[in-house]
Structure 1
Amino acid sequence: MSKARERRQWVLIGPTSELQHVERTTDCGRSDATFVTLRHPKKGSGARFLLTNGGRRIQEVLKYDDPPKSWLINNSVQKDGSLHLATPIDPVFLILPYLEKSKKHFTTLDNIMSCDDFPSSGCLCDVEGTAQLAHVCDVRDAVDMKVYRLNETKTLVWLQKKVDQLVAKLKEMAHVNVGSVAKAAMFVQSKRTATTQTQSDYVRYAVGIISEYLNEFWVRRLHEVYSTVFEVETPEATEPEPKKTKLDDHVTTECIEDYTKGNTATHEEPVKKVKVTVAQRSLNKVDKTGMKSISSFFHRKGKT
């Protein structure tokens, strides 16, 4: 008897309006919620996305995994304890890498999104938000169709507007720490309030978030626009330490010359004065002329 195939389940958190009709299928045969693998705009590798509303909207699926963990779902145990988060994403970020490859010519969006490595990329042609391509492209109408060509100047202006929008949103979220300690305390409540955070802090934080969806070329261009924000204060110039003289192998480190020669100063401890009693002082005043020393009575007599 064949072993029953284990049913894979995920725990997904996302907008209720987008996920409440997951099991329903549209007239065209597409489910209201479909998982697809698309090229990540920064990494270039495959990433999971969620198409909702019959393929008209797209969500980025982020996975948080901290094993070993599991979920209790109804009366069963789900071994995969990871958590998936579905958040809306602007499809222009996903289309931008494909526009760069065909930026020399005007091309239809179908041809631009044709990709053998990620066949599902064509679904981005039907996603809401493709009208925003006019903000990053030169668009022309040709025989009942639109053709597109990337415009770098427009794209840079569009990215700046994205930064401004994100900065305004971050300022509304007073609990978000965007200061210099934000990297170490991303999700930790900080005593630093919104009133102590500068405009430069917000801009740096916003550029960092948007850079997660841009390749190195656009990240570099964006940093050039906000170069004054990313300037690092140079520390005060300090006097360099003197270099140590390297000694030859045959040079000894022992003291060769006696530097104590000619030095008359003595290093002996001073002799302490012995206190003299009153009897001793009186004895010293007595005239001892002709008196023998007491020690003379105890010397050894010679042989006769």
Structure 2
Amino acid sequence: MGSWWEGIDESRLLIAPDPGVNEDGSACFLSLRHPKSGLRTPYLLCNGLLQELHWFKQPSGSWFWGDYVSEDGSLYIATPIDPIFIMLPIFEDARMKKWDDPGKFRQLGEILFINDCSGYQRLFSMAEDCMEVVCESKEIGSTKFFRLDDTKVLAWLLYKVSKLKQTLSALDQNYAAREEKDTLVDAVSILGEYLKDDPWLKLLCNHFKLDSLEAKTKASDFEICPTDIGHSVGSSNFSQGKNTSEKKAERNVKQAKKAMVETESRNIKEMFTRASRRRN
């Protein structure tokens, strides 16, 4: 399953999309570098779909896992991630760009060979399919070479911003009523959780004439759900910035839900305790 899982001797519940299984009937965990922080982070690869892991902990709660109840209330959720985010930093390093020089063309196998992260080599066919979107490529004989292209990367990022703006506006009436610039800042900030400040977040902010500090400050408002193994999975429960009254209302709702969950959790535990006593 990968080095990040070694030494953890306990059951874990993972909820993930079901794209099918690999030809050998299995999925695998890969240790890759997070595109923002560069830290080694676990990802799930299943049938050609790359997924990032989010860790959730429900205080004083439980989860049903088939006929089993996990009492600590922790679980992982895997959600698909565009592999271009993961590969962008290593393709940026691989072209060895200096000043106005566009950099070097490199073979895909050479780009994906990372000494301390062998997981990238498992993404060879995926990279060959998707990196054409943000790279120039050329073939010499039967060998194909790639070089990251700033213009293509910017076009890809602008598409991502456009899709995020549409999604945010469709969330609810409050989002739909927001100013265009606020929605734009939110979309750029969300992408900023997966982009290095220099050059990509800076490039995006310059294009929209946004203050990069504003985008980064906005991003700090989002709740990051780190795994319990010391890594950040680089994903967020995106909570929109709200005014004081909205925050208070939201806090009250959360407290009420927490109280209800804790009560229901105790009832569930008591039910199973009584059932086990009857069997004994």
TM-score (norm 1): 0.58
Q: Are 2:197 and 1:216 aligned?
A: yes
Task: Note closer, same or farther for the CA distance 1:57–1:220 as it changes in structure 2 (3 Å cut).
Answer: same
Q: Mean alpha-carbon deviation: is it higher for 69-78 or for 206-215?
A: 69-78
Deviations 1:3-28 (A, max 9, x none): xx99632222222x32xx56xx62xx
SS at match of 1:221: helix
Asked if structure 2 preserves the Cα contact closer than 8 Å seen for 1:204 and 1:230, the reply is: no
Which of 200, 210, 225 aligns to 2:207? It is 225
In structure 1, list runs of 5 or more residues that go unmatched: 176-191, 233-304
What's the CA shift for 1:112? 0.3
Asked if structure 2 preserves the Cα contact closer than 8 Å seen for 1:59 and 1:86, the reply is: yes
Which residue does the alignment assign to 1:111?
Answer: 110
Rounded to whole Å, the distance in 2 between the matches of 1:12 and 1:222 is 34
In structure 2, list runs of 5 or more residues that go unmatched: 1-6, 96-102, 215-280
What's the CA shift for 1:113? 0.8
Asked if structure 2 preserves the Cα contact closer than 8 Å seen for 1:200 and 1:229, the reply is: no
Q: Which has the higher helix share?
A: 2
2:110 maps to a residue whose letter is N
Which residue does the alignment assign to 1:164?
Answer: 162
What's the CA shift for 1:172? 2.8
Which residue does the alignment assign to 2:12?
Answer: 10
Structure possessing the higher radius of gyration over alpha carbons: 1
Task: Note closer, same or farther for the CA distance 1:152–1:220 as it changes in structure 2 (3 Å cut).
Answer: same
Rounded to whole Å, the distance in 1 between the matches of 2:110 and 2:210 is 40
Asked if structure 1 preserves the Cα contact closer than 8 Å seen for 2:168 and 2:175, the reply is: no
SS at match of 2:147: strand
2:183 maps to a residue whose letter is Y
What's the CA shift for 1:197? 1.0
What's the CA shift for 1:66? 4.9
Q: Are 2:141 and 1:143 aligned?
A: yes
Which residue does the alignment assign to 1:301?
Answer: none
Give the number of equivalent residue pairs: 200
The aligned runs of 1:225-304 (5 Å cut-off) are: 225-228=207-210
Rounded to whole Å, the distance in 2 between the matches of 1:130 and 1:65 is 37
Which residue does the alignment assign to 1:52?
Answer: 46
Rounded to whole Å, the distance in 1 between the matches of 2:61 and 2:112 is 39
Which of 73, 77, 80 aligns to 1:85? It is 77
Deviations 1:96-128 (A, max 9, x none): 11111111221111110111111111112122x
Task: Note closer, same or farther for the CA distance 1:125–1:212 as it changes in structure 2 (3 Å cut).
Answer: same
Task: Note closer, same or farther for the CA distance 1:7–1:174 as it changes in structure 2 (3 Å cut).
Answer: same
Task: Note closer, same or farther for the CA distance 1:124–1:76 as it changes in structure 2 (3 Å cut).
Answer: same
SS at match of 2:110: helix
Highest relative contact order (Cα 8 Å, sep 6+), 1 or 2?
2
Asked if structure 2 preserves the Cα contact closer than 8 Å seen for 1:51 and 1:59, the reply is: yes
Rounded to whole Å, the distance in 2 between the matches of 1:73 and 1:134 is 41
Asked if structure 2 preserves the Cα contact closer than 8 Å seen for 1:60 and 1:87, the reply is: yes
What's the CA shift for 1:230? 7.0
Q: Are 2:36 and 1:42 aligned?
A: yes
> Aligned-pair RMSD on alpha carbons?
2.7
Task: Note closer, same or farther for the CA distance 1:6–1:146 as it changes in structure 2 (3 Å cut).
Answer: closer
TM-score (norm 2): 0.63
What's the CA shift for 1:146? 1.4
2:139 maps to a residue whose letter is D
Indicate the percent of aligned positions where both proteins have the same amino acid. Answer: 32
What's the CA shift for 1:81? 2.8
Which of 129, 132, 136 aligns to 2:130? It is 132
Which of 88, 91, 95 aligns to 1:99? It is 91
Deviations 1:168-194 (A, max 9, x none): 23223336xxxxxxxxxxxxxxxx352
1:114 maps to a residue whose letter is F
What's the CA shift for 1:134? 2.2
